Chains A and B, each alone.
Chain A
Amino acid sequence: MLSVSTDSVFSHKIWNETELSKMAGKDMPFPMVSDQTGAIGKLYGVYDEDAGQNVRGRFLIDPDGIIQAAEILSPPVGRNPKELVRQIKAYQHHQKTGEVMPSGWEEGGSTLKPSTDLAGNVWKVWQPPKE
C-alpha cells in the first residue's frame, strides 16, 4: 500500500501524528508519498489541474506490475475498503486457479471455469444474486 497526495512529507508527518495515529491507534503502516508537482497523479490520470490536487484514484497492481483494477472518485465521497479487499481476493483466486468470479462474488462463493462447453450455458450453473 502506498498513499499519494500533493502535500509535503512534513505535512504527512504531522497529519499522522496529530490525527491518523489517533484514529488508527498506531502509525500509518504504509509510506505516505509526497507528489507536490502532481507528476505521479498525472501518470495515473488522477491529477486535477484546476484544483492543483489529486482526486481519489485507487489502483490495484499485481506482482508482475500490471494494473488489474482501478476506482476513481471525486473528493466528497470516501472509498469502500471492503470492496477493495473483495477485488484483491478475487484477482488472487483467479491467478491461482484460472477460475473467473461472477458478479457479486464474495470469498467462498461459486466461481466459473471458462470452457467451450460453458459458452451459452452459464445460466444452468449460475444465477445472479437476488437483491
Chain B
Amino acid sequence: MLVTKQAPDFTGSAFYQGKIKKVSLSDYRGKWVVVCFYPGDFTFV
C-alpha cells in the first residue's frame, strides 16, 4: 500500500525541453508533484 506512505525515490533519464537529463523524484521535494505512468509512446489514449 503506497497511499499515506513516503513515495519511493527514483532516478531516471528523461527528455525535457529538448535535452536528455537525469531526473530524480527527490528534486521535487518541497513541491506538489504528480507522477504519471503510461503504457507507451504513440499509443492512442
Question: Which residues on A are within 8 Å of B, measured CB to CB?
Answer: 1-7, 9-16, 19, 27-28, 30-35, 39-41, 43-46, 51, 53-70, 75-79, 84, 88, 92
Given A33-B13, A61-B25: A2 and B36 within 8 A (CB)?
yes
> Is B33 a contact of A1 with CB atoms below 8 Å?
yes
Dominant SS among interface residues on chain B: loop
What is the bound-complex CA distance between A46 and B41, given in angstroms?
16
Given the known interface contacts A30-B16, A33-B12, the answer about A59 and B42 at a Cβ–Cβ threshold of 8 Å is no
B3 and A12 contact, CB distance less than 8 A: no
Interface size class of B (residues with CB under 8 A): 35 or more
9 A-B pairs, CB-CB below 8 angstroms? A4-B12, A12-B41, A41-B37, A56-B37, A56-B38, A58-B35, A64-B29, A66-B5, A67-B2
Known A46-B37, A58-B34; contact A40-B10, beta-carbon cutoff 8 A: yes
With A9-B20, A43-B8 as contacts: A53 and B32 at CB distance below 8 Å? no
Closest-by-CB residue of B relative to A1 is B34
Residue-wise, chain B 4-42 has the 8 Å CB interface mask toward A (1 for contact) of 111111101111111011010110111111111111111
Closest CB in chain B relative to A30 CB, distance in Å: 7
Interchain nearest-CB distance for A17 vs B (Å) = 9
